[in-house]
């Protein structure tokens, strides 16, 4: 087999050195004396890619041999982070590589620094997809990730005069050594035009779609490794014109028209939409979704038929996981392919379709629930709109037969009739899937009792929960090598494939010698982060300070401004000479705001304004520092989590579906201050209430507050602390002395305060007092930090993937031969 033929690829220091030099010379045309940093990075990446591809080929052969049932993970976003270090870790050749390079007078860390990461996602949802790829590979799940090869990923964030500004992410500029282009794996995707119904000679009803345009999708494969053996691929589609030029046209005008057409086609995969909430009616976004879904389903059908199987058993061989509703047009597309392209009857096609898909919901925010207007959908995907109508009419008929009333039926319809008619994509995904899951216990419960309540009553067995998890190999073993080796020294290294073995650390939690080593690791990590903060944000921070960190997308519901209000409160206390009990703290923020989200951008401006004020005030800046670290991405994240003492997870209860940063922090020994939201609930359950700084209202209390008519102005009037802090916002003391700068924030908080910051403010401040007190007790802090880490076993994405396998996919891991 190919796998065996390639097995001479070695893993020794000498093999790696030889192959690296070979790549440098024959692939890049360079000798060591005349290389750029990028040449060195590329040569090493290619050396490692050979080994990664080998793992992928071998795994694929074994999956095929077993004729195993597999999973296709459909996601409009993937955020893999830098590949090189992770692949070295998974191949277990980190040290060999380091030494091979050292013999050439080269520094592995410097080379690792060169990688530009693929920012093909916005935040939690895309990163989760990539954590799952690593765990599926590790567990030997026959799986493929399908997505979009955006030419420009999430924008690069710069801070100019305190404001966010966006620059294009040119991640492909220096080339991408990890991907393999597959020009022969390509499919045509139709758009627009009209449909025409007819009857064949045999009397069979059929529909033909006469599209206005056709675009070609080409596959680009990136190997994703699991720990120690397996490799799977992430297959991303790039849009191209069907024929690039029509040379038969001699007319110049037509020549340019032909080129223009090519450029228009390529637009579809140009750029990732940088929003992670509402985005209404963007035609190009719908085209992106349909484009990648159609290519992926055609590819799956092609593979299925190639293996000599019948289409009737498609759902027995594949499960397709829909990562949110972004790929949910797949329900209509699979129906179209089966009915129109493969001549199947409706009932058979529906049986296959509704047993193929499973849908993961990632948000309850009403503004983030996708809807596509009938007019847009009908214009871009006329055939799919017909199919959605048909699916809907059959579904509503079923509801009528069950005796549901008109109101219930209207609520459940795939079509929203309020205002402009639109297709509710979450309903399409729910009706078209055999399983629906939320991403934490609380979120899944709210999904069942609120957002999709009618559906959960109709099909209770369809609904389930899979609590998110994180790739602990990337977010601990790779990014926090000091802590990883300290732990391994104590309990061995089986945690790399079984995070629950961290429980064995519990017995050392109270051991002073171990605590001291623990503290030393954290301090070293903090010193390294300090370098980054100085370099990227220009702020000098004392590593002895309490590192209080909130890193995530900027959103009002995540309440970064709650933390800011508290910082202002501390500042004013110190100015009053009443700050003795305040622990010296560095308040660190990072995260991107959607470019069109005014309030989120104003929150960034507020953070930078407070940072300027405090960091430059000699009376305060030995006690407090505030830093906004620009351009938060996976690479930065890997340097931030290991250095955090305190993790801020302070969203309004009921709004954060899960959170995954919360897990990464705790895994690296940070204590959490948080609300009972998303996976915080389960983290607290695992680590113990006594080791978690809980504050704020519960989801039920939030809803009760709202029901009773929440009047934030009363808090402003009655609580002098809150008044003082809010007045400070509009006093002119912040941001170039313009008192109107933060007026919109002030007004919003006093008049609406949709996320009930003021209601939770007192409880948050009180919890911070406890944090400061505990910080003064080093050994008790360390004990709790150790216990947090010891009890994080549940939050490995390996556990999440096992849950998906058992409860949703019905897929068995394939035990891989070496
Ligand atoms: C939504 C939209 C809406 C329209 C346009 C583009 C776009 C792009 C992304 C999204 C994603 C919203 C959902 C999301 O990211 N949810 C997050 O998922 C994480 C993984 O499950 C979870 O930890 C976070 O709590 C949740 O906010």
Taking Cα atoms as reference points, which of 37, 32, 168 lies closest to residue 595? 168
**Measured distance CA(182)–CA(177) in Å, rounded:** 14
Nearest CA to ligand 1 atom 12: 276
Query: What pLDDT is stored for residue 263 in this prediction?
Result: 87
Q: Does residue 46 belong to any structural domain of this protein?
A: no
Nearest CA to ligand 1 atom 3: 277
* For residues 225-254, average pLDDT: 80
User: Residue 282 CA: which ligand 1 atom is closest?
Assistant: 5
Query: What pLDDT is stored for residue 253 in this prediction?
Result: 66
**Measured distance CA(756)–CA(697) in Å, rounded:** 9
**For ligand 1, is residue 712 a contact (CB within 6 Å)?**
no
Q: Does residue 199 belong to any structural domain of this protein?
A: yes
Taking Cα atoms as reference points, which of 601, 591, 604, 613 lies closest to residue 728? 613
Of 346, 364, 382, the one marking the end of a domain is 364
**Measured distance CA(434)–CA(231) in Å, rounded:** 28
Ligand 1 centroid from CA 368, angstroms: 8
Q: Does residue 742 belong to any structural domain of this protein?
A: no
What does R_g of the chain's alpha carbons equal in angstroms?
27
**For ligand 1, is residue 368 a contact (CB within 6 Å)?**
yes
Mutate-to-test residue for ligand 1 from 120, 126, 147, 277, highest number of ligand atoms within 8 A of CB: 277
Of 313, 329, 364, the one marking the end of a domain is 364
341 confidence band (pLDDT: 50, 70, 90): very high
Q: What is the CATH number of the domain that holds 224?
A: 3.40.50.2000
Give the chain's domain count.
Answer: 2
Q: Does residue 806 belong to any structural domain of this protein?
A: no
Q: Is the ipTM above a cut-off of 0.90?
A: yes
H or E element that contains 266 = helix 252-266
Nearest CA to ligand 1 atom 24: 659
Q: What is the pLDDT of residues 371-397, one digit of tens each?
A: 999 999 999 999 999 999 999 999 999
The sign of the torsion formed by the CA atoms of 710, 712, 718, 721 equals positive
Ligand 1 centroid from CA 690, angstroms: 31
Nearest CA to ligand 1 atom 23: 659
The partner residues of 191 in beta bridges, in order of sequence, read 213
**Measured distance CA(238)–CA(213) in Å, rounded:** 16
Ligand 1 centroid from CA 359, angstroms: 14
* For residues 712-741, average pLDDT: 97
**Measured distance CA(246)–CA(267) in Å, rounded:** 19
Angle between helices 37-66 and 13-22 (to 10 degrees): 110
CB atoms closer than 10 angstroms to residue 120: 26
CB atoms closer than 10 angstroms to residue 392: 19
pTM above 0.80, yes or no: yes
Of 344, 364, 384, the one marking the end of a domain is 364
**For ligand 1, is residue 677 a contact (CB within 6 Å)?**
no
The sign of the torsion formed by the CA atoms of 107, 11, 55, 22 equals positive
Query: What pLDDT is stored for residue 261 in this prediction?
Result: 80
356 and 501 together in one domain: no
5 confidence band (pLDDT: 50, 70, 90): low
The mean pLDDT value of the chain amounts to 96
Dmax over CA atoms of the chain, in Å, equals: 92
The sign of the torsion formed by the CA atoms of 107, 113, 115, 118 equals positive
The sign of the torsion formed by the CA atoms of 175, 181, 183, 189 equals negative
Ligand 1 centroid from CA 77, angstroms: 10
Ligand 1 centroid from CA 78, angstroms: 12
Q: Does residue 142 belong to any structural domain of this protein?
A: yes
Query: What pLDDT is stored for residue 275 in this prediction?
Result: 87
255 confidence band (pLDDT: 50, 70, 90): confident
Query: What pLDDT is stored for residue 562 in this prediction?
Result: 98
Q: What is the pLDDT of residues 635-667, one digit of tens each?
A: 999 999 999 999 999 999 999 999 999 999 999
* For residues 199-221, average pLDDT: 95
DSSP label of 166 = E
23 confidence band (pLDDT: 50, 70, 90): very high
Q: What is the pLDDT of residues 544-586, one digit of tens each?
A: 999 999 999 999 999 999 999 999 999 999 999 999 999 999 9
Strands, E, within 394-534: which ranges? 415-416, 422-424, 433-438, 463-465
**For ligand 1, is residue 275 a contact (CB within 6 Å)?**
yes
Q: Does residue 384 belong to any structural domain of this protein?
A: no
* For residues 321-347, average pLDDT: 98
Strands, E, within 353-439: which ranges? 357-360, 371-373, 415-416, 422-424, 433-438
> How many residues can be counted in the chain?
818
User: Residue 660 CA: which ligand 1 atom is closest?
Assistant: 23
Ligand 1 centroid from CA 521, angstroms: 34
Ligand 1 centroid from CA 592, angstroms: 14
Local structure of 647: helix, strand or coil: strand
Nearest CA to ligand 1 atom 16: 362
Q: Which residues are catalytic?
A: 362, 552-553, 558, 660, 664
Q: Is the CB of residue 182 less than 8 Å from the CB of residue 218?
A: yes
780 confidence band (pLDDT: 50, 70, 90): very high
**For ligand 1, is residue 125 a contact (CB within 6 Å)?**
yes
**For ligand 1, is residue 365 a contact (CB within 6 Å)?**
no
The partner residues of 237 in beta bridges, in order of sequence, read 148, 219
Name the residue with tokens 């650390």.
505
Mutate-to-test residue for ligand 1 from 363, 425, 465, 675, highest number of ligand atoms within 8 A of CB: 363
* For residues 410-419, average pLDDT: 97
Local structure of 145: helix, strand or coil: strand
**For ligand 1, is residue 444 a contact (CB within 6 Å)?**
no
User: Residue 678 CA: which ligand 1 atom is closest?
Assistant: 25
* For residues 593-603, average pLDDT: 97
DSSP label of 572 = H
> Could you give the percent of the chain with pLDDT greater than 90?
91
Give 341-350's long-range contacts (Cβ < 8 A, gap of 24+). Answer: 342/301, 342/311, 343/204, 344/311, 346/390, 348/312, 350/391, 350/394
252 confidence band (pLDDT: 50, 70, 90): low
- Kindly tell me if the per-residue pLDDT of 715 is higher than 80: yes
817 confidence band (pLDDT: 50, 70, 90): low
Q: Is the CB of residue 48 less than 8 Å from the CB of residue 108?
A: no
Q: Where are the alpha helices (DSSP H) in 164-270?
A: 252-266
The partner residues of 187 in beta bridges, in order of sequence, read 217
Please give the residue range of the domain that contains residue 696: 490-708+758-795
Q: Is the CB of residue 805 less than 8 Å from the CB of residue 812?
A: yes
Q: What is the pLDDT of residues 75-100, one digit of tens each?
A: 999 999 999 999 999 999 999 999 99
Angle between helices 512-537 and 481-491 (to 10 degrees): 170
354 and 497 together in one domain: no
Q: Where are the alpha helices (DSSP H) in 660-742?
A: 661-667, 680-687, 699-707, 712-718, 720-729
Query: What pLDDT is stored for residue 6 in this prediction?
Result: 52
β 213-225/231-241 pair status: antiparallel
Ligand 1 centroid from CA 204, angstroms: 43
């Amino acid at each position: 087999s190919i796998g065996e033929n390639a097995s001479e690829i070695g893993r020794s220091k000498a093999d790696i050195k030889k192959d690296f030099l070979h790549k440098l010379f024959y692939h890049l045309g360079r000798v060591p004396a005349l290389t750029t940093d990028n040449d060195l990075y590329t040569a090493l990446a290619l050396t490692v890619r050979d080994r990664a591809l080998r793992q992928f080929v071998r795994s694929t052969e074994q999956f095929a041999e077993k004729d195993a049932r597999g999973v296709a993970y459909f996601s409009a976003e993937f955020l893999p982070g830098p590949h090189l270090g992770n692949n070295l870790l998974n191949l277990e050749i980190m040290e060999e590589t380091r030494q091979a390079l050292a013999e050439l007078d080269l520094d592995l860390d410097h080379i690792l620094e060169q990688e530009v990461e693929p920012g093909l996602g916005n935040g939690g949802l895309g990163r989760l997809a990539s954590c799952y790829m690593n765990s599926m590979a590790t567990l030997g799940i026959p799986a493929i990730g399908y997505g979009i090869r955006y030419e420009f990923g999430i924008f690069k964030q710069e801070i100019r005069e305190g404001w966010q500004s966006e620059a294009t992410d040119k991640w492909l500029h220096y080339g991408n050594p990890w991907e393999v282009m597959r020009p022969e794996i390509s499919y045509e995707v139709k758009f627009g035009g009209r449909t025409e119904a007819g009857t064949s000679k045999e009397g069979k009803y059929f529909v033909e779609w006469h599209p206005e345009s056709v675009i070609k999708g080409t596959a680009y494969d990136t190997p994703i490794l699991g720990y120690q053996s397996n490799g799977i691929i992430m297959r991303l589609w790039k849009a191209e014109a069907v024929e690039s030029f029509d040379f038969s046209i001699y007319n110049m005008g037509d020549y340019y028209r032909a080129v223009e057409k090519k450029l228009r086609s390529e637009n579809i995969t140009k750029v990732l939409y940088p929003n992670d909430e509402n985005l209404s009616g963007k035609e190009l976004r719908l085209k992106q979704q349909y484009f990648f879904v159609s290519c992926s389903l055609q590819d799956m059908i092609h593979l299925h038929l190639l293996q000599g199987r019948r289409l009737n058993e498609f759902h027995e061989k594949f499960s397709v996981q829909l990562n949110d509703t972004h790929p949910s047009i797949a329900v209509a597309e699979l129906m179209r392919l089966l009915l129109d392209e493969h001549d199947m009857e409706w009932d058979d096609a529906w049986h296959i379709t509704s047993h193929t898909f499973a849908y993961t919901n990632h948000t309850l925010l009403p503004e983030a629930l996708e809807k596509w207007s009938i007019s847009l959908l009908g214009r871009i995907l006329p055939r799919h709109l017909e199919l959605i109508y048909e699916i809907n009419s059959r579904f509503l008929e079923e509801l009528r037969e069950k005796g549901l009333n008109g109101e219930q039926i209207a609520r459940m319809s795939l079509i929203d009739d309020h205002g402009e008619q639109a297709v509710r994509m979450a309903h399409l995904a729910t009706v078209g899937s055999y399983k629906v899951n939320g991403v934490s216990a609380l979120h899944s419960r709210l999904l069942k009792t609120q957002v999709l309540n009618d559906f959960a009553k109709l099909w209770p067995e369809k609904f389930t929960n899979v609590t998110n998890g994180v790739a602990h190999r990337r977010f601990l073993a790779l990014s926090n090598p000091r802590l990883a080796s300290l732990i391994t020294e104590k309990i061995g290294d089986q945690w790399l494939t079984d995070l629950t073995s961290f429980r064995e650390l519990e017995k050392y939690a109270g051991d002073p010698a171990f605590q001291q080593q623990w503290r030393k690791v954290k301090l070293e990590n903090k010193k390294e982060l300090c370098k980054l903060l100085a370099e990227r944000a220009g702020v000098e921070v004392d590593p002895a300070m309490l590192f209080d960190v909130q890193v995530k997308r900027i959103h009002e519901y995540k309440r970064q401004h709650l933390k800011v209000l508290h910082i202002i409160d501390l500042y004013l206390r110190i100015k009053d000479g009443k700050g003795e009990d305040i622990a010296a703290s560095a308040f660190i923020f990072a995260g991107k705001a959607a470019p069109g989200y005014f309030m989120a951008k104003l929150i960034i401006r507020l953070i930078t304004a407070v940072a300027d004020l405090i960091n430059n005030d000699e009376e305060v800046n030995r006690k407090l520092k505030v830093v906004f670290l620009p351009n938060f991405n996976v690479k930065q994240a890997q340097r931030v989590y290991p250095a955090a003492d305190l993790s801020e997870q302070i969203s309004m209860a009921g709004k954060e579906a899960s959170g995954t940063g919360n897990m990464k922090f705790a895994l690296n020994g940070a204590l959490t201050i948080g609300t009972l939201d998303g996976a915080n609930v389960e983290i607290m359950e695992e680590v113990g209430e006594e080791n978690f700084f809980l504050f704020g209202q519960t989801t039920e209390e939030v809803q009760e507050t709202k029901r009773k008519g929440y009047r934030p102005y009363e808090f402003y009037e009655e609580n002098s602390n809150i008044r003082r802090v809010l007045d400070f916002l509009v006093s002119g003391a912040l941001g170039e002395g313009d008192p109107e700068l933060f007026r919109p924030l002030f007004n919003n908080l006093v008049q609406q305060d949709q996320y009930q910051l003021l209601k939770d403010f007192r409880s948050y401040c009180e919890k911070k007092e406890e944090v400061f007190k505990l910080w003064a007790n080093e050994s008790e802090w360390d004990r709790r930090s150790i216990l947090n880490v010891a009890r994080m076993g549940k939050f490995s994405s390996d556990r999440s993937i096992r849950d998906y396998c058992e409860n949703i996919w019905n897929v068995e891991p394939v035990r891989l031969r070496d």
